[in-house]
Amino acid sequence: MEQQFQTSFIPKKPLAEDRIIKPRSVGVFSFLATIIFIASIVAGGGVYFYEILLTKQVASSADSLKRAQDAFEPTVINDLVALNKRLNSANDILNHHIAVTPIFKTLGDTTLKSIQYTKFDYSIPKGTSNILIKMSGKAPSYQSIAIQADNFGQNKYLIDPVFSNLNLDDKGSVNFDLTFSVDPSFVSYSSNITKANQNPTQ
């Protein structure tokens, strides 16, 4: 008796299981990291190209300067440099040069006709900018010296006039020494030149 086998061609289980692919969630930090990375690459590239641009500009400026220098003759440049030094030296000398003419004019305008000066000297003491004047002279009397001192005291250009070493000579005249200061602007050569140019008729 033949055995009957029941066969079924319908599988009870599926041959292959369907796989469901779940979408991966991207974290916020991963996204920010990606953005920062891309930005870093872009910034690095920008810096690189900017450096190349600056290098080209510097090279171009150096070439332009070299062409400008070549356009002038070296002897002309040396002459101009030497002239500039001489002008600066002359200007410095002019600014520090003292003109005693205004002092003589002031003395002539304020001194009594009876008073005679026998010595004149000036200096610039250390630590001050004022001009110190030292003079000697003789007057017919002590009263003349008193009047002269009053005249000097009313003059704004003569600072602190002092008469000293008063003594009589064998002829009865009074010998004296006189010291006072003068503001530097009053005896500045450049200032007096400027005043003369502003008032040519005086």
Predicted confidence at residue 39, as pLDDT, reads 83
In a domain, 145, yes or no: yes
Distant-in-sequence, close-in-space partners of 141: CB < 8 Å, separation ≥ 6: 174
In a domain, 106, yes or no: yes
In a domain, 39, yes or no: no
Predicted confidence at residue 96, as pLDDT, reads 58
Beta bridge partners of 159: 181
Report the C-alpha gap between 40 and 134 in whole angstroms.
Answer: 81
In a domain, 189, yes or no: yes
Looking up residue 108, the CATH number of its domain turns out to be 3.30.1360.100
Model confidence pLDDT, tens digit, residues 147-187: 999 999 888 888 899 999 999 988 889 999 999 988 877 77
In a domain, 18, yes or no: no
Strands 116-123, 131-139: parallel, antiparallel or unpaired by DSSP?
antiparallel
In a domain, 19, yes or no: no
Model confidence pLDDT, tens digit, residues 55-108: 888 888 888 887 777 666 777 777 778 888 887 766 666 555 567 788 888 888
Report which residue type is found at 143: Q
Report which residue type is found at 66: K
Number of domains in the chain: 1
Predicted confidence at residue 17, as pLDDT, reads 53
Domain limits for position 145 = 101-198
| Tokens encoding 40 | 């870093």
User: By the 8 A CB rule, do 103 and 152 touch?
Assistant: no
Report the C-alpha gap between 140 and 116 in whole angstroms.
Answer: 9
| Tokens encoding 17 | 């299981």
In a domain, 182, yes or no: yes
Residues in the chain: 202
Strands 158-168, 131-139: parallel, antiparallel or unpaired by DSSP?
unpaired
| Residue tagged 């009263």 (tokens) | 143
If you ran DSSP here, which 8-state letter would residue 17 be given? P
In a domain, 4, yes or no: no
- Count CB-CB contacts under 10 A for residue 82: 10
Report the C-alpha gap between 110 and 182 in whole angstroms.
Answer: 15
